[in-house]
Structure 1
Amino acid sequence: MDWNLSTCGRHGHETFAPDEPALRERLRVDTPAGEAWRCLRCATYVVGDPKSSGSADDAPEVPRGRLLRDKRIMRLLAAERGIRGLGLLALAVLVFVFRKSKGDLRASFDKDLPLLRPLADQIGWNIDSSKIVRGIDSVFSLSEKTLTLIAIGLILYGILEFVEAVGLWLMKRWGEYFAVVATSIFLPLEIYDLTEKITVLRVLLFGINVAAVLWLIWSKRLFGLRGGGRAYHDEHHAESLMTVERAAVAQDHQRPVVGSSAGPANEGNLPL
């Protein structure tokens, strides 16, 4: 997939007219339809006025290439974290509702459970030894204080997931570190859950978390890996089309004129 063209197709081209004449001429061309400017993302010439103009130093930092792919992945991770956060907050609300109505729910459960015994006997289900029933009994035995602490814990966990989602969605450096640290803290608990019982959902969530941590550390060069933040910034800055064209202009100015005579007035520094 061409991430550059895909993004331009959805959000439009990013054209820029630099004030520097040599650089300006590298980013524009005259066509039968009029003046066209080169998109800083997909490098396509777009007919019409540039979207913005000014000094090359003030040109917008337009992500392209692998940075766009990374942006898609990070936003998928952010969306997954946001969904988790919503689910945790919904569970917290249910816990609060359960705490408030625990007495009525317990009375209804005790009243309706005997009605299930004839059906359970017909299908060979021993209600008295059922893990589901025992689990419900253990939940009803929780004190209001314990339920409140559980709800508060779910809310804090949900907020943490939302912070991760915001940092990853905005592609902030702190968000990448926060996501790695916060996710890594809960990996031992997920491993413990898997030792207790293996389910498709648990395996899927554990796999997503491990893959996210490893990918973030490696691709974003976190914790000094592969040169750290400076190397990461330099790598993506070098992929900028404006950076490439400025380097080409500088190279043109350093190239000697073919056939020029050596001497103090002409030392081969004239541009082609």
Structure 2
Amino acid sequence: MQNGTISEARLAGARVKAYRKHHAHDRGLLLIGLFKLGKSILFFLIGVGVVHLLHKDISDEIMRLAVALKFDPESRFVAILLNKADLIDAHRLKQIGVATFGYSAVALTEGIGLVLEKVWAEYLTLSLTMMFLPWELYELVRHPTAFRVGLLLINLAVLAYLLWLLRRTKAESLD
């Protein structure tokens, strides 16, 4: 009789553990997922802005924006932007738009998957984060800025957390 009670208690404990595993949301995944969803929205809006510029003179738009933001149109900053704008033609603008919308779609997929705590999303985010680290390091060495350092630190934290979480999940599944 006692063995039956112990087995029932273990079964009940296993059910509680399984319930918590399926119903307790991981705050880290939720935070990373929301960050990815925010990036998706940002890049979607950038893509919309690029599409808006397709049939316009970019230099005129830069001047209009500089005046609206009360920048001196003769400033060095505006001159640099105007010089860079001359390098962008309609074909290049379309390429930028496609890449921006594509990145937005990938970030949306990551974000939704992470918020829903899908393991495939954890692996996707882990893979993409690892793929972009060499590029981020290259850019940081080339032009070090506080923004790039912050971006690298955020991505390293995401990478470390996902590695820890996947190892923990694998260890729990072996138990």
Same fold (TM over 0.5): yes
> How is 1:209-220 mapped onto 2 (pairs within 5 angstroms)?
209-220=155-166
Structure 1 unaligned segments of length 5 or more: list them: 1-20, 27-54, 121-126, 236-272
* Secondary structure, counterpart of 2:35 in structure 1: helix
The verdict on how the C-alpha distance between 1:234 and 1:101 changes in structure 2, with shifts beyond 3 A counting, is same
| Deviation readout 1:8-63 (Å, 9 max, x if unpaired) | xxxxxxxxxxxxx948x96xxxxxxxxxxxxxxxxxxxxxxxxxxxx96x957322
Give aligned pairs, total: 164
> How is 1:61-210 mapped onto 2 (pairs within 5 angstroms)?
61-63=18-20, 68=24, 71-102=26-57, 105=60, 116=72, 127=75, 130-210=76-156
* Secondary structure, counterpart of 1:159 in structure 2: helix
Q: After the TM superposition, which of the residue ranges 141-150 and 196-205 deviates more from structure 2? A: 196-205
Structure 1 residue 153: Cα displacement: 0.2
Letter in structure 1 aligned against 2:51: F
- For the pair shown, the structure with the greater C-alpha radius of gyration is 1
Structure 1 residue 81: Cα displacement: 0.7
Contact 1:106 1:140 (8 Å CA) reproduced: no
Contact 2:140 2:148 (8 Å CA) reproduced: yes
Structure 2 unaligned segments of length 5 or more: list them: none
The verdict on how the C-alpha distance between 1:140 and 1:96 changes in structure 2, with shifts beyond 3 A counting, is farther
Query: Could you tell me how far apart the structure 2 residues matched to 1:103 and 1:168 are?
Result: 38
| Deviation readout 1:118-176 (Å, 9 max, x if unpaired) | xx6xxxxxx4xx25422332224311010000011011111111111122111111111
Superposition CA RMSD, Å: 3.5
Query: Could you tell me how far apart the structure 2 residues matched to 1:77 and 1:131 are?
Result: 34
Letter in structure 2 aligned against 1:143: D
Structure 1 residue 103: Cα displacement: 6.0
Runs of 4 or more off by more than 6 Å in structure 1? none
Query: Could you tell me how far apart the structure 2 residues matched to 1:216 and 1:104 are?
Result: 43
* Secondary structure, counterpart of 2:55 in structure 1: helix
The verdict on how the C-alpha distance between 1:104 and 1:189 changes in structure 2, with shifts beyond 3 A counting, is closer
What is the TM-score normalised by the length of structure 1? 0.51
Query: Could you tell me how far apart the structure 2 residues matched to 1:142 and 1:205 are?
Result: 26
Normalized per residue, which structure has more strand?
A: 1
Query: Could you tell me how far apart the structure 2 residues matched to 1:211 and 1:106 are?
Result: 38
> How is 1:243-262 mapped onto 2 (pairs within 5 angstroms)?
none
Query: Could you tell me how far apart the structure 1 residues matched to 2:51 and 2:86 are?
Result: 13
Query: Could you tell me how far apart the structure 2 residues matched to 1:101 and 1:171 are?
Result: 43
Matched-pair identity in %: 22
Contact 1:102 1:140 (8 Å CA) reproduced: no
Alignment partner, residue 233 of structure 1: 173
